[in-house]
Amino acid sequence: MAKMNELASRVDPMPNSNNQVVRSKPRYSENENEMIYENWWNPKLRKELSRRFGRKISALRSQFCRILKEKGISNTDYYKMMRAKYQTATPKEILSDDEDQLILEIFAKHQALGGTRNDACLELQRIMAKPISEAALKLRFYRLVQKRGLSEEKIISLGRDVLKRSGISVPEAPLLNGREIPPVGTKSAEPVKAEENKVGMKEQKALPETAPTDNL
């Protein structure tokens, strides 16, 4: 992981028009790298990491790619591995009898899990009595989203509700070593924050006088 952090920060700082060094975000801590790896598959938690770390989604995505490269894991294998913990066939008894609502719920479930539209189509084709193509299912889903004015947040919320009704618990807060980490400032988050501070102090001592630039 140290090698990855070196790659992420090994760019000379650029002076601005006033010959002042432009300082970028500090490099990622070991805990931050681990949280990116554990939570990137989850679109809701991905946004939460962006907020907590004070970094853009694009910057986190670049770091996520570095993490996978260092671990020797492909993007496809990563998502399969992470979703396998939560990806199960939705019990028919909890699904709506209304076909439009059924399509929405299955697509929303897969979106909440960071899955693909193709995955949703495959599950719908198994559930629905009549044969229907992937293209037709996707078109109906897009039209339903537009008709009901559903935002991405509402779709993910619907998907998480479907998972909950299926008896599947999806993390509400980012994970670190398998444990949910509440927002900083809450009592249960204090021990983790203290550990992050220790790691940060060790890394800070090793930093050069000139702050590294994030190579993103």
Measured CA distances, 137 to 81, 100, 108 (Å): 26, 10, 13
Residue type at 88 in one-letter notation: T
Same domain flag for 35 and 111: no
pTM above 0.85, yes or no: no
CB 82 within 8 A of CB 41: yes
Distance, in Å, from the CA atom of 119 to the CA atom of 134, rounded to the nearest integer, reads 10
**Dihedral (CA of 75, 86, 55, 187) sign:** negative
Residue-range definition of the domain harbouring residue 8 = 1-85
- DSSP H helix total and E strand total for the chain: 10, 2
Distance, in Å, from the CA atom of 216 to the CA atom of 213, rounded to the nearest integer, reads 9
pLDDT tens track for 119-141: 899 999 999 878 999 999 999 99
Residues in a beta bridge with 175:
180
In a domain, 44, yes or no: yes
Backbone angles phi, psi at 99, to 5 degrees: -65, -40
In a domain, 209, yes or no: no
Same domain flag for 64 and 141: no
pLDDT tens track for 147-166: 999 999 999 999 999 988 88
Domains in the chain, number: 2
Residue with tokens 């935002």: 151
Alpha helices in 72-171 (DSSP H): 75-83, 99-112, 117-127, 134-148, 152-165
In a domain, 191, yes or no: no
Measured in Å, how far apart are the chain's first and last C-alpha atoms?
Answer: 17
In a domain, 129, yes or no: yes
Give the rounded percent of residues in the chain with a pLDDT score beyond 90.
46
| Number of residues that this document lists for the chain | 216
In 3D, which of 116, 112, 140 has the Cα closest to residue 128? 140
In a domain, 119, yes or no: yes
pLDDT tens track for 50-87: 999 999 999 999 999 999 999 999 998 998 888 787 76
Residues in a beta bridge with 146:
none
3-state DSSP call for residue 21? strand
